[in-house]
Structure 1
Amino acid sequence: MTIWNLGSINADMIYTVPRLPAGGETLAATALRQFLGGKGANMSVAAARAGGHAAHIGAVGADGAWAKRRMTEYGVDTRHIAELGGATGHAIIAVEPSGENQILIWPGTNRTIPEDLIGTALTEAASGDILLIQNETNAQDIAARIGRDMGLKVAYAAAPFEAAAVQAVLPFLDILVLNAVEAEQLADATGTMPGDLPVAHVVITLGADGARHIDTVRGEDTSYPAVPVEAVDTTGAGDTFTGYLMAGLDRGMPMAQAIGLAMQAAALMVTREGTADVIPDLKDVQAALRG
């Protein structure tokens, strides 16, 4: 099966800072590194490294051919990444010693993905494949509707959070992935608690408190304890979780097993500095699970 990911592709500029800056403060960084990033690219790389067949749908600018090449090297199917005019998306990320971060995103070509590219790519999809989307591109609702009509399992990672964007795709979703803050924001915006959403599976990541899975069909709410690690950089951990979760489900794992795999991958990820380039391989995750 295939995980079709309509997702962003960014150049991530990661600055090491002594602390996150306050409003109006000028702060000198102590280091600068550039990585492949963007929630979409991170998730595609994570899914590929988890053993899934990840096909990315997206766009880069004239300056972004390097990102497409690197994704190909990491095992992602990049045939449906358009090379357009304009600038590739980028993110400016500040990371403090505790691993907490602050991120500023310029969307660039991530918001100009041709709609016909999405339709053309998904003509290759088969019923039972997974369609994954996030809120860093255009045409999410269009892709979600196509996916639902084709019998794909439609998953949405609701970040960066925007209530209207989530509500536009809710009718088409099978899986919704949120963090704790996003879940609270969605409940405030809709007046609906996660367990009452019209989505079969709601997965809420809780950082150091683990994760929660709500099966709204069976009426089951399951909590999973966190994997204890010492974080050095939390950037990309949520994306790693989502990519591994999708790959696990695509391989036929029960939700509990897929979440366990995804949590271990995210735990390893926060011990590394960087984004897509340092997402752990499946063998490393399995070795960590074995202890």
Structure 2
Amino acid sequence: MAIWNLGSINADMVYAVPHLPGPGETLAATGLQRFLGGKGANMSVAAARAAAHVRHLGAVGADGAWAVERLMEYGVDTRHIQQAADPTGHAIVTVDPDGENQIVIFPGANRAIPEVAVQAALSEAAAGDSLLIQNETNAQLLAARIGRDLGLRVCYAAAPFDAEAVRAVLPYLDFLVLNAVEAEQLERATGMGPGALPVRDVIVTLGAGGARYFDTKSGESRDFPAVPVMPVDTTGAGDTFTGYVLAGLDRGLPMAQAIAQAMRAAAIMVTRHGTADVIPDLKDVQAARPG
């Protein structure tokens, strides 16, 4: 089986700062690094490093060949990445000494993916495959509808959060991942808590508090504790978690095992500076298994 990811591709410009800047504050950075990033690229790399077959649907500008090559190096199938007239998306990331971050995103080519290219790519998908979308590209609703019609497991990582974007795709989803703040925002917008949503599987990530899984069919929920580590950079941890969960499910792992493995992957990720380029591979995650 395969994971089809309609996802963003960014250049992440990561600045180390003494503290996160406040309104109107000018702050001198103490370091700068460029990484492959974007929630889509991060999730594709995470799923590929977790031993899934990942096909990325997206777009870069004429300046983005390096990003496509980097995805290929990490085992992602890039044949469905288009070149757009817009420049490649990029993110400005500031990270403080405690690993907390602030991020500003320029979408660029991520919002210029030809819908006909999405349709053509997904025509190759098969029932039982997974489709992953986030809110950093165009064509999310189109892809979700196609995915449902084809019998794919349609998954949505609800970030950057927009209530209307989630509402639009909600009828087509099988799996929803969002953080605690996003869950509260969605509940205010819909009047439904995570366990009451019309989505079969829902995961709410809780940062240092771990994650909570809701099986809406049975009405049961389960908490998964975070793996205790000393974080240096939380950028990309949620994307790593999502990619690893979907890869585990794609490989036939039970949900609980897939989540536990993803928790370990995210824990390793926050001990590293960077985004897609430093996502741990499966052997690192398995070696970190307790006991």
Aligned to 2:130: 130
Is residue 2:243 matched to residue 1:243? yes
1:200-228 CA distances to partner (integer Å, 9 max, x unpaired)?
00001000000000000011110111100
SS of equivalent to 1:289:
coil
Q: Name the counterpart of 2:90.
A: 90
RMSD between superposed Cα atoms in Å: 0.6
Structure 2 partner of 1:4: 4
Code of the residue aligned with 1:112 in structure 2: it is A
The residue that corresponds to 1:226 in the other structure is 226
1:260 equivalent to 2:260? Answer yes
Q: Map 1:1-291; keep pairs closer than 5 Å.
A: 1-291=1-291
Q: Give secondary structure in 1 for the equivalent of 2:289.
A: helix
* SS in structure 2 of the partner of residue 70 of structure 1: helix
Percent of aligned pairs with the same amino acid: 73
Query: Which amino acid is the alignment partner of residue 214 of structure 1?
Result: F
Within 2, Cα distance between the matches of 1:115 and 1:86? Answer: 15
Q: Counterpart amino acid of 1:179?
A: N
Structure 1 unaligned residues grouped into runs of 5+: none
TM-score (norm 1): 0.99
One-letter identity of the residue aligned with 1:5: N
* Distance (whole Å) between structure 2 residues aligned to residue 188 and residue 73 of structure 1: 42
Counterparts of 1:86 and 1:247 in 2: how far apart (Å)? 31
Q: For each residue in 1:13-57, what CA deviation from the matched residue of structure 2 results, as whole angstroms up to 9, or x when unmatched? A: 000000000000000000000000000000000000000001000
- TM-score, scaled to structure 2: 0.99
Q: CA deviation at 1:83?
A: 1.2
Q: List 4+ stretches of structure 1 deviating above 6 A.
A: none
Residue ranges of structure 2 left out of the alignment (5+ in a row): none
> In structure 1, the residue corresponding to 2:141 is in which secondary structure?
helix
Contact 2:86–2:112 (8 Å) recurs in 1: no
* Aligned amino acid, residue 174 of structure 1: D
Q: CA deviation at 1:191?
A: 1.1
Q: Distance in 1 between matches of 2:17 and 2:234?
A: 14
CA contact (8 A) 2:49 2:280 kept: yes
**Which amino acid is 1:193 matched to?**
G
- Equivalent-residue separation in structure 1 for 2:22 and 2:274 (angstroms): 23
Tell me the alpha carbon deviations over residues 162-190 of structure 1, each in whole angstroms, 9 at most, x when there is no partner. 00000000000000000000000100111
| SS of residue paired to 1:156 | strand
Distance in 2 between residues matched to 1:176 and 1:85, nearest whole Å: 32
- Give distance in 1, aligned partners of 2:86 and 2:66: 15
**Cα distance in 1 for residues equivalent to 2:83 and 2:141:** 22
User: How far off is 1:86 after superposition?
Assistant: 2.0
Question: Is the partner of 2:15 in helix, strand or coil?
Answer: strand
CA distance in structure 1 between the partners assigned to 2:76 and 2:50 by the alignment? 11
Equivalent-residue separation in structure 2 for 1:245 and 1:171 (angstroms): 22
Q: CA deviation digits over 1:51-109, x for unaligned, max 9? A: 00010000000000000000001000000000122200000000000000000000000
Mapped to 2, the partners of 1:287 and 1:21 lie a distance apart of: 37
CA shift, 1:290, in A, is 4.4
